[in-house]
Amino acid sequence: MNPSDELDSILSGRRVTGSTDELLAPLLETNARLAPFAEASPSPSFTDALEARVLAHATHLTNETGFRSELSFDDTGIETRQDYAVAYSAPETRHDSWRDTPSRWRAAAITVAFVVVCLSVFTLVANARMGGPFSQSSSNASAASRARLQMQSASQALTMLDQAVTRQSGNIAYLSALTTLRTDVQAAMTLIDAMPSAADRAGLLTQLRDLEAQARGDLRGALPRLSWSLRAATTLTLGTIGDTVPLISRAQVAQWEDHFWQITLTGANFASGGVLLVNDQPGGTVIALNPMQMVARISAQGFQAPPNYVGIGEPDDTAAEADATLVPAIGATSTPVSGN
Amino acid sequence: MDDLDVRHPRQGSAQAHIPPFDPPPEGWPASESFDHVLARARAFDQSALTLLYRRFMPLVYRYVLARVGDIHHAEDLTSEVFFAAIEQMSTTRAQDELGFVAWLLGIARNKVALHFRQQRAHPEGSFTIAEHDRPSSSADDGDPLAIITTRESWDEVVSALNRLTEEQRAVLLYRCILGYATEDVARLMRKRPGTIRALQFRALASLARLLGITPRHDRSGKEGRS
């Protein structure tokens, strides 16, 4: 056996000693020097926090791209890290309620899905049978009925969302309802816009505006009970249903002197009293703030590497977060923008 | 791959100096194949993403840690890898677990390369590795001599690893740190197992030379380094 095969056998545990021990000994000793890397484990706090952020990012992408995932009830029985964010809000009750609710949630979801599918199929079949001289009016009626269905589904999603908050059913239930609400409202809006009859359109538009107003009220009511990452997701939805919310178009982080990170957020609708969010937690000191820019600094003590997920938390509990870009270090003489 | 390959990379390593492998992650449904989980993850299914994250995050972390050498940078880069992975999840062509690992570690390799480029561009932004930022090992739990030896050699090992050729470093990372079997490393690197064994031998020999680890007969007469 040649030395490389013998070494591989020993490393694989198929051999303990070999005929070329003298030759392989330093290589095995070298391999042992790599052991700390192989044994290294990330800290549980980092693991948990990153998992929550990764899942929140996936949700954000889903919202941003309009991709509508299936209702993500946890059919594997595994509790995802996002659930811990709600657990953080109500540690005494959340776990029990979570364990109690999946079957009810699933039953409700299946019922809702079944009703929506049946109504959709019924509408499609009815549409298919219509035609000829009635095509224009049937098309109008079809668009109106589909818009009503979308609004009905959005209304049900809003009910589910309210229940998810009240019962602390977990982030997945909340985010699923939030996504459904947003996509259904947008779909209804598209259908209403495409309707040829102004009279029909006006009536449906009024209903949609009422629904959006109710949704805004419910979502804003839910905000104080949510983690900052969920508040950011909720704020995005609020923005899509006509609310005025903070938006971040650019986030930059730079080293400031040796002991601070300076974070500059550029965007819109920043309110006086807003706080810096770093990794979903408030922190740091706001140096300057105006409706379009926040400049804040945070001690490098806890962040030797630059914070890469930052945002603004508003006094009204809305929030916006974004991935930060590292820019060159700033000297002590640099002056941030003036603000209120 | 019809069924999930539940074998862990480090399975089969019985040598005392090779650490025992982690237990399989909890919660992975044995009945669910890897490609099914991956398909669900591509649709941003939260439970599937959670499964993949819990299974592969420690792997990515160790890979990155061995390249950059300090915990804070390793955590930041691991975060970046997973954010990038989530954003590109729908485009991955991986069909099985090993293909997914190759894809994920490819992202990690790029992030590490970018990190080193940024460090070269802004050297003033880099920090000295504090004592508490260095990873500990099981040796730290007991023998004080082992603690000293481990910590003193930490920077030296990282530096030496980074001086190897790309292929030699990859073999050591996949084989000795992530613990994949030779055949799996061969698939990851698209080479033959025999080539991997030869690369592994040369890589360890180079690393030994860089670390000043000499054959025993050369040590006689020298003051003990070990």
DSSP string, B50-91: HHHHHHHHHHHHHHHHHHH-SHHHHHHHHHHHHHHHHHHGGG
B36-39 long-range contacts (CB < 8 A, ≥24 apart) are: B37/B4, B38/B92, B38/B94, B38/B100
Question: Taking residues B44-63, what's their average pLDDT?
Answer: 90
Q: Check whether residue A191 and residue A278 sit in a common domain.
A: no
- Is residue A228 in some structural domain? yes
Nearest CB to B211; choose among A4, A30, A82:
A30
| Residue A331 forms part of a structural domain | no
The confidence score (pLDDT) of residue A88 equals 29
Domain co-membership, A82 together with A163: no
Chain B residues with CB inside 8 Å of A40's CB?
61-62, 65, 135-137
- Give A265's strand partners: A251, A294
Residue A70 sits in the same domain as residue A154: no
Q: How far is A9 from chain B (nearest CA, A)?
A: 10
CATH number at residue A311: 2.60.40.10
* Residue A318 clears pLDDT 70, i.e. is over it: yes
Specify whether A234 is located in the same domain as A257: no
pLDDT, one tens digit per residue, over A187-224 is: 788 888 888 778 878 888 899 999 999 999 999 999 99
- Asked whether the predicted pLDDT for residue A137 surpasses 90, the reply is no
Within an 8 Å CB–CB cutoff, is residue A214 touching chain B? no
The larger pLDDT score, comparing residue A30 to residue A60, is at A30
Contacts of B72 (CB under 8 A, 6+ apart): A303, A304, A305, B133
For residue A340, tell me if it sits in a domain: no
Mean of the pLDDT values across residues B83-97? 88
Residue-wise pLDDT for A54-87, tens only, equals 888 887 777 665 543 333 323 333 334 443 333 3
A260 and A223 both lie in a single domain: no
pLDDT, averaged across chain B? 75
* Structure-model confidence comparison of residues A83 and A119, the more confident one: A119
* Predicted TM-score of the model (pTM): 0.49
Does A12 share its domain with A111?
Answer: yes
Whether residue A280 is contained in a domain is answered as yes
Q: Structural domain of residue A293, as residue ranges?
A: 247-326
Nearest CA in chain A to B179: A38
Q: Does some domain include residue A337? A: no
Domain-embedded: residue A184: yes
* Domain identity same for A146 and A235: yes
| Helix axes B46-68 and B71-88, enclosed angle (nearest 10) | 140
pLDDT at B197 over 60: yes
Nearest to B161 by CA among B114, B208, B123: B208
Under a CB-based contact definition with an 8 Å cutoff, are residues A222 and A319 in contact? no
Residues A63 and A87 in one domain: yes
pLDDT, residue B206, reads: 93
All residues of chain B having their beta carbon less than 8 Å from the beta carbon of residue A42 are 57-58, 61, 74-75, 78
Taking an 8 Å cut-off on Cβ atoms, the answer to whether A16 and B17 are in contact is no
**Taking CA atoms, what residue in B is nearest to A44?**
B58
More confident residue, B214 or A72: B214
Mean pLDDT of A299-326: 86
Whether A276 contacts A296, CB under 8 Å: yes
Instruction: Tell whether A267 and A235 lie within a shared domain.
Output: no
Q: What is the pLDDT of residue B25?
A: 45
> pLDDT for B59-86, tens place per residue?
999 999 999 988 888 999 999 999 999 9
- Of the ranges A135-139, B72-76, B201-205, which one carries the lowest mean pLDDT score? A135-139
State yes or no: pLDDT of A49 exceeds 80: yes
Looking at A240, A271, A291, the residue that finishes a domain is A240
Nearest CA in chain B to A302: B72
Reading the block at residue B58, the tokens are: 């420690």
Q: A196 and A84 in one domain?
A: no
Q: For the segment A247-304, what is each residue's pLDDT rounded down to a tens digit?
A: 999 999 998 887 888 999 999 999 999 999 988 889 899 999 999 999 999 988 877 6
Q: How many domains does chain A have?
A: 3
Assigned domain for A334 exists: no
User: In the listed set A130, A160, A187, which residue is the last one of a domain according to the structure?
Assistant: A130
Mutate to test the interface with B, among A2, A15, A37, A253 (most CBs of B within 10 A): A37
The answer to whether the CB of B62 falls within 8 A of the CB of A40 is yes
Residue B21 Cα to chain centre, angstroms = 13
Task: Answer for the pair A315, A271: CB distance below 8 angstroms, yes or no.
Answer: yes
Q: Which of A1-5, A10-14, A77-81 has the lowest mean pLDDT?
A: A77-81
In B, residues 128-187, which contact A (CB 8 Å cutoff)?
A: 130, 133, 135-139, 150, 153-154, 157, 172, 175-179, 181-182
Angle, helices A198-222 vs A135-166, to 10°: value is 10
Average pLDDT value for residue range A328-334: 63
**Residue A159: pLDDT over 80:** yes
Q: Per the CB < 8 Å rule, is A4 touching B62?
A: no
A333 part of a folded domain: no
Task: Return the HEC string of B118-151.
Answer: HHHHCHHHCCCCCHHHCCCCHHHHCCHHHHHHHH
Kindly state whether residues A94 and A184 are assigned to the same domain: no
Domain boundary among A205, A240, A275: A240
* pLDDT of residue A92 exceeding 80: no
Residues A228 and A251 in one domain: no
Q: In one letter, which amino acid is A226?
A: L
